[in-house]
Amino acid sequence: MRLIGIDPGTRRCGVAVTDSGQTMAFPREALANDASLLSALAALIEAESIGGIVVGRPVALSGHQTASTEIAHALFESILDFFPTMPVEQWDERLTTLEAQRSLSEAGIRSKDHRERIDSAAAVIMLQNYIDAKRSD
């Protein structure tokens, strides 16, 4: 079963998918966080034969909720309602954007080009962390 990871953002949601063995996460094009998000997500889920959804849950380093946490939780609730038969989980995505920025810089991608890739790069890191943690359980 393949999984899809969503890194919620105010303008865009980063997207990543796993391989069928759930060993690696791969980026997909970020989706606009607008009225078309859930239908675009449904199309991607069908096209990629997805069997589960992991939604990032941003929290402060202290572990406390932030405004971003509330936005992510609202998206999580919307996804639960829109996909009632699909397994959906939230996963801590603390520091994934910072790690994604560092990875893109190390890969030689210019800072001004990060904006187009950062959301899905963060989704890859979050989803990879999720599958690694589940594998070690």
Encode pLDDT of 3-46 as tens digits: 999 999 889 999 999 999 999 999 999 999 999 999 999 999 99
Write down the residue that tokens 């998918």 correspond to: 17
Encode pLDDT of 65-102 as tens digits: 777 788 889 999 999 999 999 999 999 876 566 565 66
Overall number of domains in the chain = 1
Q: Kindly report the CATH number assigned to the domain that includes residue 120.
A: 3.30.420.140
Q: What is the pLDDT of residue 19?
A: 97
The boundaries of the domain holding residue 52 are 2-136
**What are the tokens at 108?**
């030689």
Could you tell me which residues come within 8 angstroms of residue 112 by beta carbon, excluding any fewer than 6 positions away? none
